[in-house]
């Protein structure tokens, strides 16, 4: 007897390609293979532990018996700390009623999609990008996927958006961006804001507005002369239409601690909160208590970030330089200079190359497998983030990277490339 059909959503929804790939890599490592795993946007806590003060506050919160339900919108003391933290760090004014806390960014993103998008509404986002395709599928939206280009560091431009913006309900933006590790320039983000304001001003009273989801999960992890920009600071009128998504997950290497927050117009935040009361994806009480105290310790935070950012940047720059050295040797590889986050955008343009035993690498998928099997290099193709299957670009994540293994990885990679003709 065959399996019975389930809902249309469950029958058509696919799981996370990145999680699936990461699990396969872990199994191969467990079986004894030497693999340089740059797939998952996570951290090895032995290399990148969370701040000691945050850890201490979490332990103390549990010992103080903070183990009951938190407030549905997030504990007041945490929202007060967030309001102050945001004011201190970004000079943004958000009251406690304009802030919503949840267990990381995902439930906030999902509740935002649910709050502003009806079935058939237009949702616009660029590819490659993280999970927009899945959230759009959840709400049965009319998806407008815009392929971002290398020339723009794979960030959307106002010119890209302009033909599609009429009648849209949501634009999903992320900067610094996962998977690219690149950022919006001040000029480009300002131009996008102007488009949104113009579109909303053209809508009739009572008509749904166009909102922007601005995922800034990595905003404190910028390198060199790169500055993080946000819609509301650049264009104060955007405060009525912008919902920020943020968390401790990446900036404090605390992916498993599960404390995230959204900031935005009170009417939208209130509807998102109502949804969270039903599916209950709250950040744990003890972690909320700990983060409420931790975020006010500015000197500890700056000290932690100084070291943390330096270590991430060293790895990104080292790998970027290694790729550029291979490029100078004539290999069909490339990389975008590190800007932010924990990711490096790299290219392996090797379609139609032949292996030493005569096998032709006909597709980008063949190349991904070749790099894994012959160089032990595990990276995520941009196709896993919605880009075309023919894209030759990849995300490389350094959250589990040991500096001493980078040279060895490049030795194996170079040998694997030399063998291709």
Same domain, 110 and 241: yes
CA 1, distance to chain mean position in Å, is 42
Domains held by the chain: number: 2
pTM of the model: 0.95
pLDDT tens, 306-337? 999 999 999 999 999 999 999 999 999 999 99
Residue 22 has pLDDT above 80, yes or no: no
pLDDT tens, 92-112? 999 999 999 999 999 999 999
Which of 265, 296, 327 is the endpoint of a domain? 296
Give the pLDDT score at 18.
75
290 inside domain: yes
358: containing domain:
8-48+302-418
CB 413 within 8 A of CB 377: yes
pLDDT above 90 covers a percentage of the chain that reads 90
Q: Tell me how far apart the alpha carbons of residues 243 and 231 are, in angstroms, rounded to a whole number.
A: 10
Same domain, 285 and 371: no
Give the pLDDT score at 382.
96
pLDDT tens, 69-98? 999 999 999 999 999 999 999 999 999 999
Residue 88: CATH number of its domain: 3.40.640.10
Q: Tell me how far apart the alpha carbons of residues 21 and 29 are, in angstroms, rounded to a whole number.
A: 13
CB 343 within 8 A of CB 313: no
Same domain, 195 and 261: yes
The mean pLDDT of the chain is 95
Same domain, 236 and 130: yes
Closest CA to 174 of 385, 390, 393, 396: 385
Q: Tell me how far apart the alpha carbons of residues 250 and 43 are, in angstroms, rounded to a whole number.
A: 8
Q: Tell me how far apart the alpha carbons of residues 216 and 251 are, in angstroms, rounded to a whole number.
A: 10
59 inside domain: no
Same domain, 225 and 336: no
Give the pLDDT score at 2.
60
Residue 16 has pLDDT above 90, yes or no: no
Q: Tell me how far apart the alpha carbons of residues 11 and 236 are, in angstroms, rounded to a whole number.
A: 43
Residue 1 has pLDDT above 60, yes or no: no
Same domain, 217 and 353: no
Q: Tell me how far apart the alpha carbons of residues 197 and 240 are, in angstroms, rounded to a whole number.
A: 10
Closest CA to 99 of 245, 263, 241: 263
3-state class (DSSP) for residue 353: coil
Same domain, 287 and 325: no
61 inside domain: no
Q: Tell me how far apart the alpha carbons of residues 374 and 71 are, in angstroms, rounded to a whole number.
A: 51
Same domain, 243 and 314: no
Q: Tell me how far apart the alpha carbons of residues 8 and 277 are, in angstroms, rounded to a whole number.
A: 25
pLDDT tens, 210-241? 999 999 999 999 999 999 999 999 999 999 99
CB 387 within 8 A of CB 17: no
Phi, psi of 124, rounded to the nearest 5 degrees = -115, 135
Q: Tell me how far apart the alpha carbons of residues 316 and 226 are, in angstroms, rounded to a whole number.
A: 15
Which of 250, 267, 296 is the endpoint of a domain? 296
């Amino acid at each position: 007897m065959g399996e019975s059909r389930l809902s249309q959503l469950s029958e058509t929804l696919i799981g996370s390609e990145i999680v699936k790939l990461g699990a396969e890599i872990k199994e191969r490592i467990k079986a004894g293979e030497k693999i340089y795993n740059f797939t998952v946007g996570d951290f090895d806590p032995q290399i990148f532990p969370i701040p000691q003060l945050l850890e201490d506050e979490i332990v103390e919160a549990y010992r103080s018996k903070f183990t009951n339900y938190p407030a549905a919108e997030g504990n007041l003391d945490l929202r007060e700390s967030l309001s102050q933290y945001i004011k201190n760090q970004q000079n943004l004014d958000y009251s406690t009623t304009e802030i919503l806390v949840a267990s990381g960014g995902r439930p906030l993103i999902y509740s935002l999609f649910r709050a502003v998008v009806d079935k058939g509404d237009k949702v616009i986002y660029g590819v490659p990008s993280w999970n927009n395709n899945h959230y759009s599928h959840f709400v049965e939206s009319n998806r407008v996927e815009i392929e971002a280009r290398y020339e723009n560091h794979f960030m959307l431009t106002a010119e890209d958006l302009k033909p599609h913006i009429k009648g849209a309900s949501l634009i999903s933006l992320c900067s610094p961006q996962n998977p690219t590790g690149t950022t919006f320039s001040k000029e480009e983000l300002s131009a996008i804001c102007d488009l949104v304001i113009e579109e909303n001003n053209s809508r009739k009273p009572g008509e749904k507005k166009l909102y922007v989801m601005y995922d800034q999960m990595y905003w404190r992890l910028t390198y060199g002369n790169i500055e993080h920009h946000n819609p509301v600071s650049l264009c104060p009128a955007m405060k009525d239409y912008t919902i920020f998504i943020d968390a401790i997950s990446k900036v404090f290497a605390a992916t498993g601690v599960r404390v995230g927050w959204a900031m935005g117009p009170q009417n939208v935040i209130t509807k998102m909160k109502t949804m969270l009361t039903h599916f209950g994806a709250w950040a744990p009480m003890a972690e909320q208590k700990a983060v409420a105290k931790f975020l006010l310790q500015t000197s500890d935070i700056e000290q932690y970030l100084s070291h943390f950012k330096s270590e991430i940047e060293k790895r990104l720059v080292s790998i970027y330089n290694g790729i550029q050295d291979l490029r100078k040797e004539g290999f069909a590889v490339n990389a975008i200079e590190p800007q932010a986050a924990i990711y490096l955008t790299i290219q392996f343009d090797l379609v139609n190359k032949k292996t030493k035993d005569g096998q032709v690498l006909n597709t980008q998928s063949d190349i991904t497998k070749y790099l894994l099997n012959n160089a032990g290099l595990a990276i995520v193709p941009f196709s896993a983030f919605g880009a075309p299957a023919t894209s030759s670009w990849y995300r490389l994540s350094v959250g589990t990277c040991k500096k001493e293994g980078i040279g060895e990885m490049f030795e194996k990679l170079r040998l694997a490339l030399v063998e291709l003709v």
